[in-house]
Chains A and B, each alone.
Chain A
Amino acid sequence: MKFFIYRFNPEKDSTPCMQHYDIALQPEDRMLLDALVRIKAADDSLAFRRSCREGVCGSDAMNINGRNGLACVTRIAGLKEPVDLRPLPSFPVVRDLIVDMTRFFKQYHSIKPYLINDEPPPEKERLQSPEERSKLDGLYECILCACCTSQCPSSWWNPDKFVGPAGLLQAYRFIIDSRDQATRERLEDLNDPYRLFRCRSIMNCTEVCPRGLSPSRAIEKIRLLMVKESI
C-alpha cells in the first residue's frame, strides 16, 4: 500500500518534505496505525505519537487524506492511495507527524475546566439527578485529540484569541453541569468578539470529531444561554 507522509526533522531539515512509502500489509492490519507501525519497522526515523490504539487517548490525531482523524480507528480499507498523512493543520510541527499542543491546551485551561462550587463539600458526593447527568452526555467524552480545533478555519486565523471547538465544548460541559455555580462568570468570560464569537458555524469540527461529538451544537447552546442571561 502506498503512503505519502510529511517529514520534517528540525535538527536536520530546513524545510519539510513529503516522502513516499510502499509497504506490504498483512491481513491482520485493519487500522491505519497498524500500517504506520509497519512503516516505522521499515524506516525507524518516522516519528508519530500513539498510545491506547483504541481511540480513547487522542495521541495519534493526524490529517489523513485531508481530513483529521485518529490513526488507530481509521480503517485502511477505503483509504484512497497514496494515503496522504500530514500533522494536524496549523499546529507547530515538532517532528514529522508530531505537533506542539501547547496553544491548544492553553485555550482549554483558559475556560477553567474544573467544577467551581463554593459550598462545603458534602460527606460523599455532590448529588445530581439522572436528568441533570444526562445533560453531560456528548460533552464529557471529549479526549482532547485536537482534530476539531485543528480543522477549524476560525482557529487557523485567530489561534491565540479564539478558544476553539474543543475548549468551547468543555466550557459548555461545565456551564450546564448542575453542580457548577460559576455559570454567569463562565458565560461572561466567553462574551467578547473573539473567545466564542469567531465561530461562523462552519461545522468542520462536528464533521471530523472521531468520537462523534458536536462542538457546533455546544457552541450554539452557549450562545442561546448568553441571550437568555442578557435579556
Chain B
Amino acid sequence: MRGTPSGLRAWLLQRLTAVYMIAFVIFLLAHFATDASKSYELWRSWMMHPEASIATFLFFTALLLHAWVGIRDVVLDYLQPMIVRLPVLAMAGFSLLAMEAWVARILLLSP
C-alpha cells in the first residue's frame, strides 16, 4: 500500500520516535523536578510558549506514529484475512489521525 511505510521506513520510524519520546519524557521529568510551576496559570503560560507547545506536539505526533507502526505490525502478524485486516487498519489509522487533530487543537490553536 502506498501510504504505509515500507519495512525499513516503518522500523526506522519506530526507533526514531522512541528516541524522541524517551528524550522528551526525561526532559519533562527533569523540568518538573527542578522548576515545577506553582499554579495552573504559571504552568499554562509555560506550556503555551512555542518551545514547550511545539515540543509537546511533536511528542504526541511521535507517539501516534509509533502507535501506528505498532498496531500495523500486530495486524500484519495476526490478522490475515483481508476482510478483517483492511477495516481494522483503516479504523486504527482514522482514530490516530483524529487524536492528532485533537492534540493540534489543544496545543497549537487554542488562545
Contact = CB atoms under 8 A, between A and B. Distances in A.
B12 A196 contact: no
A128 to B, nearest CB: 28
Contacts of B77: 154, 157-158, 198
Interface string B1-29: 00010111011100000000000000000
Interface in A142-164: 154, 157-158
Interface residues on B, range: 10 to 19
B84 to A, nearest CB: 14
Nearest to A231: B12
Contacts of B10: 193, 197
Contacts of B6: 191-193
Interface in A132-189: 154, 157-158
A194 interface: yes
A196 to B, nearest CB: 6
B78 interface: yes
Interface in A29-56: none
Interface in B29-54: none
Interface string B41-77: 0000000000000000000000000000000010011
Contacts of B73: 200
B76 A223 contact: no
Contacts of A230: 8
Question: Which of B4, B73, B77 has most chain A Cβ within 10 Å?
Answer: B77
Interface in A184-218: 190-198, 200
Contacts of A154: 77
A191 B8 contact: yes
Contacts of A77: none
B78 A197 contact: no
A226 B9 CA distance: 10
Interface of A: 154, 157-158, 190-198, 200, 223, 226-227, 230
Interface of B: 4, 6-8, 10-12, 73, 76-78
